[in-house]
Structures are given as C-alpha cells and as structure tokens.
Amino acid sequence: MVKEKPNSIRIYDKDGYRRRAACICVRSEAEAEVLLVTSSRRPELWIVPGGGVEPDEEASLTATREVLEEAGVMGQLGRCLGVFENSEHMHRTEVFVMVVTQELDEWEDSKTIGRKRQWFSIEEAMSQLALHKPTQRHYLQQLRHSKHRTTSSSDPPPIISENDNDDFTSEPVMNNCTAPDDAAGEKDTTTESTPTTPPACTTTVTDDDGEPTTVADTDSLPPTSTT
C-alpha cells in the first residue's frame, strides 16, 4: 500500500529542486546502529525515513515529524549531515542525525499501512539500502565521515551529490557551491537573476521514496505575459 497524503503540496527551492528532509536515527551517541523503515511501495525492503518539506516548515521540523509518522520514534535532534542532491529526480534532501530516546509501540504508519522498523548495524543498513534505495547510502557514508568533525553552527550545510562516488569507500563528493538559502533555514527564495516561471505546486499522492508520482498542476502556474 502506497502512503497517501492527499493534501500534500510540493515545495521547491530557487533552483527548481523539490525540498525534502530525512533523519538518520541512531540508537546511541556511538552511532553504531541506525533505524530503517519498510518502504510503502515494497514492504519487504528498507529505507531511511523522510519526506517532503511542507509550507512554512523548517527542514529540521520536517525530519522530526517524518520519523514520528514513519518510524514511531522521538529523540534528540543533532547535527545536519548535509543537503543531498539528486539531479535525476530533481530533489534535495536535508539529512539530520537523531539519537532516539523513545520508541512507540504503535504509530501512524504502523496502523495505517503496516509499516515496520528495525535496527541495523551500519554495514547491514548499507546492504539493505543497496537493494532498493542505493543513493541513500550516501547518508550513512556522510554519517561516518562527519562524526568527529567540528563545524560552526553558522556554516551552511554542504550540498552533496547522490550521483557520484558510488564505491562508498572514500570521502563524499561535495559540490563546489553553497547550500540553497531555504535549505539553510531561510524562507526567502527570491534571486537577483532574471525571473523565470517557478515550478508548479502539486496536490498529489505522495510516497516515502521521494520520487515524483504525478505531473505538475499547470493550473497553479501564474499567467504568462503576451506583451
């Protein structure tokens, strides 16, 4: 059963990428085990919990909301691992780390679509993600490499390509650019460049995998000038 959010509105950044957020849930500060949930499309396979950013919502709030809905856990939200860019499907996912402090016996998705959760070692999680969502292995790679780094809270999160460095043995590939303003917590997505027609928001069935399932609603686009 595919998870449905009939009133969901897709939010895009100034570059036309759909904004998403996800959370790497760890069992302790040792970060040796991570929590995965079953896919709503293919319940025999596992994914990292996450979903689309909603209007007027910070990415950190999206991450905590999604893990409560999809995994039924709460905890202490920690560092941001980066903004993971998927140029094929045109979305950027801001990924956070959460140390889980509470696991509910029942939660929204367990009751509505029978979603399950399970703890895995990092190595096991990498193997499970390779079966269905191989690009999400970049999240775990960055988890490993960022654990002992010290960064300023004022530094924007790096944009990390999900399409490069698929051997997962070396440092993640980071694009030579800064994070989009809205991914860094700013709500103003205007630019000084020549205005272009923004992507349409869509009201659609939304699944947990972050892939487009419908075309844009062209009725929501502003009228174009004929002068």
Query: 11: exposed, middle or buried (C-beta count within 10 Å: 0-12, 13-18, 19+)?
Result: buried
| Token output for 65 | 């909301």
Q: What is the pLDDT of residue 64?
A: 98
Map tokens 């000038």 to a residue.
Answer: 225
Q: Quickly state the pLDDT bin for 191 (edges 50, 70, 90).
A: very low
Q: How many CB atoms lie within 10 A of CB 64?
A: 18
| Token output for 108 | 């929204």
User: Average pLDDT of 53-79?
Assistant: 97
**pLDDT tens digits, 15-39:** 999 999 999 999 999 999 999 999 9
**pLDDT tens digits, 126-139:** 999 999 999 999 99
What is the rounded CA–CA span in Å between residue 79 and residue 29? 12
Give the strand pairing for 91-103 and 18-26: parallel
- Best CA proximity match to 115, nearest among 37, 208, 61, 188: 37
Domain residue limits, the chain: 18-149
DSSP codes, 137-153: HHHHHHHHHHTT----T
Q: What is the pTM of this model?
A: 0.74
Is the CB of residue 39 less than 8 Å from the CB of residue 114? Answer: no
* 69 labelled catalytic: yes
Q: Is the pLDDT of residue 42 over 60?
A: yes
CATH of segment(s) 18-149:
3.90.79.10
Q: What are phi and psi of 33, to 5 degrees?
A: -130, 140
Q: Is the pLDDT of residue 10 over 50?
A: yes
Of 31, 69, 70, 162, catalytic: 69
Quote the Cα angle for 170-171-177, to 5°. 145
User: Average pLDDT of 55-73?
Assistant: 97
**pLDDT tens digits, 95-145:** 999 999 999 999 999 999 999 999 999 999 999 999 999 999 999 999 999
Question: Please, which residues have CB within 8 angstroms of residue 130's CB and are 6 or more apart in sequence?
Answer: 137
- CA end-to-end span of the chain, whole Å? 48
Q: What is the CA radius of gyration of the chain?
A: 17
Q: Is the pLDDT of residue 87 over 60?
A: yes
What is the rounded CA–CA span in Å between residue 203 and residue 142? 33
User: Average pLDDT of 170-183?
Assistant: 40
Q: What percent of the chain has pLDDT over 90?
A: 61
Question: Please, which residues have CB within 8 angstroms of residue 125's CB and are 6 or more apart in sequence?
Answer: 34, 36, 46, 140
Q: What is the pLDDT of residue 150?
A: 62
Instruction: Identify which has the larger pLDDT, 5 or 143.
Output: 143
Tell me what the pLDDT averaged over the chain comes to.
78
**pLDDT tens digits, 202-221:** 333 345 555 544 333 434 33
